Amino acid sequence: MDAQTLATAAGVPLGTLNMWVTRGFIPGERLGRGRRREFDLEVAIRVGIVAELVRFGVGLAAAVAAAGTAMGRRGEGEKLLVLFGFSLTDDMIVHNPAQLTELQEHMRRVPVVIPFNSEDDLPAFFERQRMIPNVYAVINIKQIEAKMRRANEEWEQQRQGKRG
């Protein structure tokens, strides 16, 4: 799909999308001067994930990192848990507090992405891991993918209509 269609589908201004591309935040895409850019569905889904996370308040670099991991784990679950930090349950013993602090700082920059299928599973997951999430987001990959697929199909139909 073209840049305008992708920007509209992702809910970001075209200038924002172009900035993300020219600054290298969308891997594999570079915008050349005067050159019309077409994005494939995989890139569109990645942009959709980044846009949702940025709207959620996640910094662009962390959103891009999470989207990259999310794309690599697609197919493992309909949704992805994006975990930005956690506290341990009271029964956990920390042997190296400095290492725990370092992990927490790292997760703020590069969140952990975990595939799953239902929000109903999250409390049991957190209990098994013996953690209490400080901040997390749920990305509905299936929904973002469907939205981007629809936008791409509509764009293809319009393009075919202009040629025919």
Residue-level pLDDT at 152: 94
Q: pLDDT tens for residues 123-157?
A: 999 988 888 888 888 989 899 999 999 999 999 99
The number of beta carbons lying within 10 Å of the beta carbon of residue 30 is 11
Residue-level pLDDT at 83: 86
pLDDT band of 101, cuts 50, 70, 90 = confident
Q: pLDDT tens for residues 12-22?
A: 999 999 999 98
- To the nearest whole percent, how much of the chain has pLDDT over 90? 35
Residue 102's domain comprises 3-163
Q: How many domains does the chain have?
A: 1
Q: pLDDT tens for residues 44-66?
A: 999 999 999 999 888 898 889 88
At a CB cut-off of 8 Å and minimum separation 6, what does 13 contact? 7
| SS3 at position 28 | coil
The pTM (predicted TM-score) of the whole model is: 0.81
Separation of CA 66 from chain center: 5
